[in-house]
Amino acid sequence: MNTQFMATIAGEDRPDLLKLLAGKTHALEGRWLDSKISRLEGQIAGIIKIDIPNENLSALKADFNSIPNFHVSTSDVKLVTITECAQLNLKIEANDRPGIISDIAHFLDSKGVAIEHMENHRFGVIGLGTTVFIAELSLMVPVDMGTEFLVEELERLSSDLRVEVEEIA
């Protein structure tokens, strides 16, 4: 019988790291069902959903944890109730300020919107003497929530915040 778990990974990146993790999984008859991996400034972080025979679970966790300068935490996969949702991609721009990400995440959570992916950056604008915040988000929005409503409510978080709906490719 097989079991599924989530492996959250973080540590120093190196060229063969994902190949090493996938090889360890395959050697123990496991397989990656889903994964999201990001690299930034010589570091790697991600989450991997793994399916593996019960008898090999402990060995795989030990193999993952034996990698130097690398941290792995695991958790069981739990069944969740899923609301019918539609994907929505947004680009948010605003003057940077402390707490802007927290405000956006808090608002979306309060409306039952799940953040599937978020990438944000801050850029200094020398001519204006300010820093601009830009975020690109992929959201799962309950189907009964209108896009226009969501955009208007997000823009109310700050007078300078602009939201642009991006086409889903």
Kindly report the three-state secondary structure assignment for every residue of the chain: CEEEEEEEEEEECCCCHHHHHHHHHHHCCCEEEEEEEEEECCEEEEEEEEEEEHHHHHHHHHHHHCCCCEEEEEEECCCCCCCCEEEEEEEEEEECCCCHHHHHHHHHHHCCCEEEEEEEEEEEECCCCEEEEEEEEEEEEECCCCHHHHHHHHHCCCCCCEEEEECCC
Average pLDDT over residues 150-165: 94
pLDDT band, residue 102 (cuts 50/70/90): very high
Nearest to 139 by CA among 151, 130, 131: 151
Residue 167's pLDDT band, with cuts at 50, 70 and 90, is confident
Q: List all residues 6 or more positions away from 62 whose beta carbon is below 8 Å from its beta carbon.
A: none
For the chain, give the mean pLDDT: 91
Q: Return d(Cα 32, Cα 49) in angstroms, integer.
A: 6
Answer yes or no: is pLDDT of 8 > 90: yes
Burial of 5 per CB tally in 10 Å (0-12, 13-18, 19+): middle
Say which range, 48-57, 76-85, 127-136, has the weakest mean pLDDT.
76-85
Indicate the range of 26-30, 77-81, 147-151 predicted with least confidence: 77-81
Residue 35 has pLDDT above 80, yes or no: yes
**Residue 16: is its pLDDT beyond 70?**
yes
